Structure 1
Amino acid sequence: MQVLRPASIADALAMLAGGDARLVAGGTALQLEWAKGLPKPRSLVDIGQIGGLTGITLAGNGLRIGALTTLGALERDATVREELPLLAAA
């Protein structure tokens, strides 16, 4: 398995279009899938180095949560606790 590290969202999308690849930020979801015996992809596209993918902001009538926002950040965020208390508690 190869790990690809794109520098931008456009690069990541191009890498995904190339075939058997999966996005990965922290990898927890993939580890859970593999523990269930699901097949591993040929490539992982690690988006951890792409800027601008963290943070929690109010967007319209909901929240926008960046793909690289950690669970700890969700737990500590006052807006999440106020607007989505079940998510904060989970």
Structure 2
Amino acid sequence: MTAKKYRYYALTGYQYTLENPFTVVRVGGEFPEGFTTALEWDRTDLLDRIRTGRDGYEVVEVGEEDAKRFETTQARRVAEARERDGGGA
């Protein structure tokens, strides 16, 4: 079985930079997936929303290492939000 070959895209703009993007979306599977606050890859329509003008983020292709780094960033954001909001799971 061949491993899936994904392409990754960072969503930047507003206060979000390439080093700290809003999210990362990967394509190459059955449908586009974004790395969520549940800390997993899940189906997303963000790229379609951007393409049709419903969201204003910039889309920048990044490498797999950048996507993995975002997984760590997202985990930190979730932990900070949980602590700020009372430590709930």
What interval of TM-score do these two structures reach, taking the shorter chain for normalisation? under 0.3
Q: Judging by fraction of residues, say which structure has more helix.
A: 1
Asked which structure has the greater CA Rg, the reply is 1
TM-score (norm 2): 0.27
